[in-house]
Amino acid sequence: MYIHTMNQPGLEPRSGIVSLPCACANLRRAARIVTQRYDQELQPADIKATQFTLLQALARVGNISQGALGDLLGLDSTTLTRTLALLRRKRWIQTKPGKDRRQVRLTLTAEGRHKYLSVLPYWHSAQKQLRRVLGEADWKQMMESTTLTAALALCAPCPPGARLRR
């Protein structure tokens, strides 16, 4: 498989990236590498991409249950709980009881909103770099394909030939 980014000016991969026969392996590898790049850009703001993702989601949706946030981001309960505990210790989020005693609602604190806004320039820089390396058409395709892949994987096992309609 030919990988388009191999010929991008200024991009020198450490080794040849080969297409693996497993979609999961290819997606996980790409996610790990992209996460490392975002972590590098976010490092001056003293935040990891995983933490920023939660702040960004909470900034967008506001008050949300922990379960709904996990569903939104495709995170398992253990991983989400561990990352949320860190954000609570930093006083970036607060929890409130929901209508049901078992439910926990999450929101950004004023400190969390300030942190989110202060990290945005670093995040924009990471986005811009990846967008530049991919090119506009591949960027758009990647954004659409990953969103569609996640949506379709959620409905598995789907009937043969079923597709999510946009």
Exposed, middle or buried by CB within 10 Å (0-12, 13-18, 19+), for 35?
A: middle
Q: What is the rounded CA–CA span in Å between residue 79 and residue 77?
A: 6
Q: What is the pLDDT along the chain (166 residues), one digit of tens a residue?
A: 334 444 444 444 556 788 899 999 999 999 999 999 999 999 999 999 999 999 999 999 999 999 999 999 999 999 999 999 999 999 999 998 888 878 889 999 999 999 999 999 999 999 999 999 999 999 999 999 999 998 888 876 666 666 554 4
CB count within 10 Å of CB 84 equals: 22
CATH topology for 48-118 is Arc Repressor Mutant, subunit A (1.10.10)
Coil, strand or helix at 159? coil
Kind plus residue range of the DSSP H or E element containing 103: none
C-alpha angle with apex 23: 27 to 35, nearest 5 degrees? Answer: 5
- Spatial neighbors of 133 by CB under 8 A, at least 6 apart, are 5, 8, 11
